[in-house]
Amino acid sequence: MEEIITLKHGEGTKASYNLIKEVFLKKLSNPALERLTDAAAIEKLIYSCDSFTVDPIFFPGSDIGKLCVFGTVNDICVSAGLPKYLSLAVIVEEGFLKSDLIKIADSIKKAANISKVDIVSGDFKVVERGKADKIFISTSGIGEKIRAVNPSFKSIKNRDKIIVTGSIGEHGISVMLSRKKIFEFNIKSDCQSLRPVVTPLWKNYPQIRFMRDPTRGGIASVLNEIYLGSGKGIRIFEEDIPVRRDVKAACEILGIDPYYLACEGRAVIIVPSIIAKHVLRSLRKTSKLASIIGEVDDSIKGVVLKTVSGGDRILDFSHSFNLPRIC
């Protein structure tokens, strides 16, 4: 039977990774695309594009308007770029409220101002009722290259340290709770611009090996992508991973693993061990919960989580999906 596309192919799972490599990378391969980074380095420019669909479109701490700007800006930022310009394509379904469209436009403006980018091109379409799901937004972004050497999986070395810039899981659990509306938790999305967080790092620490924002599939998927891209195992420590108590509690009730939850204002950073504490000190000026969560270990295969009880747990790609339509 011919394989069909399912929701899990769009959720940062192993199926997503395989589909991208087997279809798009195979058919469209070129040196920029083969690096599989969040944005492409082309001469002196950093270029990225993304599409956004989330249910509900308004959720605690953010909405699809902020999400579409910060999502593309952050992809440029973690790819050692200084974001400058965005394009915006909006598709809405017939019957969509004009008042909601105005709210979203206001959010886009605020997010663009925070990120210091201009919306310089756009497109707007309306499709028949039932032909879309409320609103879809696509963005493309251009930034200036901050450093000459492109960050890549291949630069990662044994014993490099792994840093996360803040607590994880708030975005994913915020959207889920907004959708379910059955639990009383005051958890807001972490959706924010990474420009003020990571841009100083690229300028002050040229030794940084690699950086990625853990959106679909959370930190577990990012770490597995790093393992597959670098060929080096990764060991992380549960006691060092910053997860807020209310996020943990909500995850336990819903049966969700926080390591697979999307973040929209965090970065995973790989740095040489010799500068790890210096980078962490810089990060904590803007993010008190930034933490060193583990290290690269080429004596192991895959991603291994050392639990608080002292056991080892394999943290593989998710083979299912927790939150359809998360970003």
Three-class secondary structure of residue 308 per DSSP: coil
Q: Are residues 305 and 157 in the same domain?
A: yes
Overall average pLDDT of the 83-97 stretch: 95
Please list the alpha-helical segments (H only) found in the chain.
14-19, 26-28, 31-34, 64-78, 98-115, 170-180, 195-204, 218-230, 245-254, 276-283
Please report which confidence band the pLDDT of residue 319 belongs to, taking 50, 70 and 90 as the band edges.
low
CATH of the domain at 126: 3.30.1330.10
Confidence of residue 324 (pLDDT cuts 50, 70, 90): very low
Task: Find out whether the peptide bond into 56 is cis, omega within 30 degrees of 0.
Answer: yes
- Domain annotation covers residue 250: yes
pLDDT at res. 121: 93
pLDDT of amino acid 204: 95
Q: What does the angle CA 134 – CA 65 – CA 48 come to, to the nearest 5 degrees? A: 105
Average pLDDT over residues 124-131: 92
Per-residue confidence band for 21, with pLDDT thresholds at 50, 70 and 90:
confident
Of 268, 292, 295, the closest CA to residue 77 belongs to 268
Provide the CATH number for the domain around residue 256: 3.90.650.10
**Residue 1 pLDDT greater than 60, yes or no:** no
Question: What tokens appear for 46 in the block?
Answer: 């950093």
Residue 12 has pLDDT above 80, yes or no: no
Q: What is the pLDDT of residue 138?
A: 96
For 35, 162, 221, the CA distances from 203, given in Å and listed in that order, are 22, 19, 27
The fraction of the chain above a pLDDT of 90, given in percent, is 74
pLDDT at 184: 79
Q: Residue 103: pLDDT band by 50, 70, 90 thresholds?
A: very high
Per residue in 22-70, pLDDT (tens digit) is: 887 777 777 777 777 767 777 789 999 999 999 999 999 999 999 999 9
Decide if 125 is inside a domain. Answer: yes
Total structural domains in the chain?
2
Main-chain dihedrals φ then ψ at residue 126, nearest 5 degrees: -120, 130
Are 87 and 231 within one domain? no
Can you tell me whether residue 221 is helix, strand or coil? Answer: helix
Same domain, 130 and 237: no
Lowest mean pLDDT among 34-43, 113-122, 128-137: 34-43
Higher-pLDDT residue of 2 and 141 is 141
Q: What is the mean pLDDT of the chain?
A: 90
- Which of the four pLDDT bands, split at 50, 70 and 90, describes residue 321? low
Residue 320's pLDDT is what?
57
Question: CB neighbours (10 Å) of residue 97?
Answer: 10
7 inside domain = no
Q: How many whole angstroms separate alpha carbon 265 and alpha carbon 11?
A: 18
Q: What percent of the chain has pLDDT over 70?
A: 94
Helix (H) or strand (E) holding 257: none
Is 189 in the same domain as 307? yes
Q: HEC string of 107-155?
A: HHHHHHHHHCCEEEEEEEEEECCCCCCCEEEEEEEEEEECCCCCCCHHH
Q: Which of 5-19, 115-129, 231-245 has the lowest mean pLDDT?
A: 5-19
Rounded Cα distance between 29 and 319, Å, is 26
Q: Is residue 10 over pLDDT 70?
A: no
Whether pLDDT at 325 is above 60: no
**pLDDT on residue 3:** 79
284 and 172 belong to one structural domain: yes
Structure confidence at residue 89 as a pLDDT band (50, 70, 90): very high
Position 45 in a domain: yes
CA distances from residue 130 to 44, 65, 94, 100 in whole angstroms, order as listed: 43, 22, 8, 18
Question: Which residues contact residue 327 at a Cβ distance below 8 angstroms, ignoring those fewer than 6 apart?
Answer: 52, 53, 54, 67, 71, 171, 215, 216, 262, 264
Question: Phi and psi (nearest 5°) for 178?
Answer: -65, -35
Q: Is 165 helix (H, G, I), strand (E, B) or coil?
A: coil
pLDDT above 70 (res 258): yes
Domain limits for position 134: 35-145
**Of 152, 145, 155, the residue nearest 35 (C-alpha):** 152
Looking at the structure, tell me whether residues 123 and 175 fall in a common domain: no
Of 145, 164, 182, the one marking the end of a domain is 145
Residue 316: count of CB within 10 angstroms of its CB: 13
